[in-house]
Structure 1
Amino acid sequence: MTTSWGTPRILLAVGGVETTVVVVTWRGAGHITACLDAVAAQERPHRTLVIDNASDDGTAALLAAHPSRPRVVRLPRNTGYAGAMRIALSLVDTPLMAWLNDDAVPAPDWLAVLEDALGPAAAASARLDRPDGSIQSLGVRLTADGHGADATEAPAFGFCGGAALLRTDAVRTVGGVPGSFFCYYEDTDTAWRLRLAGHDIVTVPAARVTHGHGVSTRPGSPLFHLWNERNRLLTLLRCAPGAIALRELARFAAITAVLPLRRGVVDAPNFRVPLRCRVLAEVLVRLPGTLTARRVVTRRSTVPRHAVWRAWAR
């Protein structure tokens, strides 16, 4: 049997179960129960896998006591969302895997709607709403300077890792999840490689999820900006046209160089020279491995990089 994209389908549904829902948690004691309650209430049969990133706040006890009895893999250290999802990908044995944040509460039909809407695509992105009901994201859009940003209109360039459904073998075929990213852009990078390999990604607004957003990572913090800026540049170096990647790396370095000479600069972590210098240092340290990864991405691609960029960068 072959999948719609023409590669051997190794994984088969067992007992009617197509999907493993993967929840990554770190110090999730305040919200993991609500997430697992909602996963257990799904209308569509599934398996549940929780990757616990060495939580030390009582999360382990809550997972052990939850009546749905999810499979739990407790890691010896915090590998971030990206690292945990890479480990999860090696454990999933169903044709589909869902990514779900531990501060997300999906509607009862969330998984069924995603499975039914997936069709021949490699991934489907759900709708994430803020607790007040306003829309946060339908997926990831690609900006003209190579940022992955929340999309609030369909279709989206990529899926949002907070709540999405992916074909397990398709993700493995394009190289899996970039675990070394730790956190942020692992979804954009994976979606970009799927696009380059000729796969489609669908946006499914009817698959609804209420999302706490950033409960563990504190958006706006120095660490958030470090991961965000570094991983954007690494994603561009891996996936974007060469001229775009070099332009954005040079622009980031140039802005960093002139910031000490400017007055009235906004006091935000991503405009602080030490943090930006650390971003550049970490990108340079990773550059040999990143360029090797770029060559691998090229070999696996069926769509030119410039074609994907022209189609989606706005």
Structure 2
Amino acid sequence: MTSTTVVVVTWRGAAHITACLDALAAQTRAHRTLVVDNASDDGTAALLAAHPSKPEVLRLRRNTGYAGAMAAALDKVDTPLMAWLNDDAAPTPDWLATCEDTLTKAPLAAAVSARLTLPDGTVQSTGVRLTADGHGADLPEPVEEVFGFCGGAAVLDVEALRSVGGVPASYFCYYEDTDTAWRLRLAGWDVVSAEADVTHEHGASTLPGSARFHLWNERNRLLTLLRCAPRAVAIRQLVKFAVLTLVLPLRGKPAAPNFRLSLRCRVLGAVAARLPRTLVERRSVGRRATLGRGAVWEAWAGN
């Protein structure tokens, strides 16, 4: 019996998705492969149709980002487990088996994060930690339990995922994994790490460090805090972001794109526009929670 649907999200992935599909075809554990194509226009569709593994394809009419595509895929998943896999990631043959077995041995866990390694051999992530100011940051050191999973390569319990509200589709890209892990933890689930290796090109579809990257990253961090963090923490971090934005003109030329006044004003505008909806979502997250926001924050923030 197949336990896992491996979901691969792609957008203009013609240059690298074949390596991903080849690696999935070599897995030692049977699975279903579902590729969500975010309206690629670079020949990706032809490559998917021609690949010997014959993956199922869900082609979307527009680019909905990683978060939107994962949310669309969740509606099509009919297996107990769902793997999230970037299209520029190539797992070793035992990746899926190791992740499935790790979850089996940890009955209180709803997600397992794989070990992502960059092409130069540098470990990118074994999971996600929660910083003292509410950032989700990659954790390169191997630890058994992590705050959250890295969405580039992870396996999740589908029933648990659906019970906490699924994937935040409106995020488009970035922090959908941290937000999801946070809601799982609020609902009483654990997240673990596994020595399941995946080589990750990283940033093949989006350019880390670009203005667009920082816009999505900063916006979604603040939205995640508003949805999941204790009220005082969320307000403090939002005010801190706004105050720093206001004083930027006094500090001279910014050293990094995420400290550019125009970008940060766009972030604040986007958060303000989404605030009514986000507060409704916060109440929904609270209703599903079995642990207090403060308890989860104290246990993981800065640790």
How far apart, CA to CA, are the structure 2 residues paired with 1:87 and 1:259? Answer: 39
Q: 1:276 is matched with which residue: 254, 258, 264? A: 264
Match of 1:229 in 2: 218
How far apart, CA to CA, are the structure 2 residues paired with 1:263 and 1:177? Answer: 39
How far apart, CA to CA, are the structure 2 residues paired with 1:279 and 1:131? Answer: 32
Q: 1:107 is matched with which residue: 92, 99, 108? A: 92
Match of 1:31 in 2: 16
RMSD, aligned α-carbons: 0.7
SS of equivalent to 1:23: strand
SS of equivalent to 2:274: helix
Match of 1:13 in 2: none
1:114-129 map, 5 Å: 114-119=99-104, 120=107, 121-129=109-117
Per-residue CA deviations over 1:80-125 (Å, capped at 9, x if unaligned) read 0000000000100000000000000000000000000113110000
Match of 1:197 in 2: 187
Match of 2:162 in 1: 172
Structure 1 outlier segments of 4+, above 3 Å = none
SS of equivalent to 1:172: helix
Per-residue CA deviations over 1:117-162 (Å, capped at 9, x if unaligned) read 1131100000000001110000111000100010123232100000
Corresponding letter in the other structure for 2:86? N
SS of equivalent to 2:75: helix
How far apart, CA to CA, are the structure 2 residues paired with 1:305 and 1:218? Answer: 33
1:73-92 map, 5 Å: 73-92=58-77
Match of 2:201 in 1: 212
- Alignment pair present for 1:249 and 2:238: yes
Match of 2:44 in 1: 59
How far residue 29 of structure 1 moved from its aligned partner, in angstroms, is 0.3
Structure 2 runs not aligned, ≥5 long: none
How far apart, CA to CA, are the structure 2 residues paired with 1:300 and 1:202? Answer: 21
How far apart, CA to CA, are the structure 2 residues paired with 1:244 and 1:259? Answer: 22
Q: 1:265 is matched with which residue: 254, 257, 261? A: 254
Q: What is the total number of aligned residue pairs between the two structures?
A: 297
How far apart, CA to CA, are the structure 2 residues paired with 1:265 and 1:70? Answer: 46
How far apart, CA to CA, are the structure 2 residues paired with 1:289 and 1:32? Answer: 35
How far residue 269 of structure 1 moved from its aligned partner, in angstroms, is 1.4
How far apart, CA to CA, are the structure 2 residues paired with 1:25 and 1:97? Answer: 16
How far apart, CA to CA, are the structure 2 residues paired with 1:124 and 1:272? Answer: 36
Corresponding letter in the other structure for 1:245? A
Alpha-carbon contact 2:12-2:205 (below 8 Å) kept: yes
TM-score normalised according to structure 1 size: 0.94
TM-score normalised according to structure 2 size: 0.97
- Alignment pair present for 1:156 and 2:146: yes
Per-residue CA deviations over 1:196-237 (Å, capped at 9, x if unaligned) read 000011111x20000001111100000000000000000000
Match of 2:227 in 1: 238
How far apart, CA to CA, are the structure 1 residues paired with 2:190 and 2:240? Answer: 31
Corresponding letter in the other structure for 2:17? I
How far apart, CA to CA, are the structure 2 residues paired with 1:40 and 1:309? Answer: 40
Match of 1:296 in 2: 284
Match of 1:3 in 2: none
Corresponding letter in the other structure for 1:180? S
How far apart, CA to CA, are the structure 1 residues paired with 2:254 and 2:44? Answer: 41
How far apart, CA to CA, are the structure 2 residues paired with 1:264 and 1:18? Answer: 53
How far apart, CA to CA, are the structure 1 residues paired with 2:223 and 2:122? Answer: 31
SS of equivalent to 1:30: coil
How far residue 265 of structure 1 moved from its aligned partner, in angstroms, is 3.2
How far residue 264 of structure 1 moved from its aligned partner, in angstroms, is 5.1
Alpha-carbon contact 2:254-2:260 (below 8 Å) kept: no
Corresponding letter in the other structure for 2:129? R
Match of 1:8 in 2: none
Match of 1:10 in 2: none
Corresponding letter in the other structure for 2:213? F
- Percent identity reads 72
How far apart, CA to CA, are the structure 2 residues paired with 1:147 and 1:259? Answer: 21
How far apart, CA to CA, are the structure 1 residues paired with 2:197 and 2:233? Answer: 34
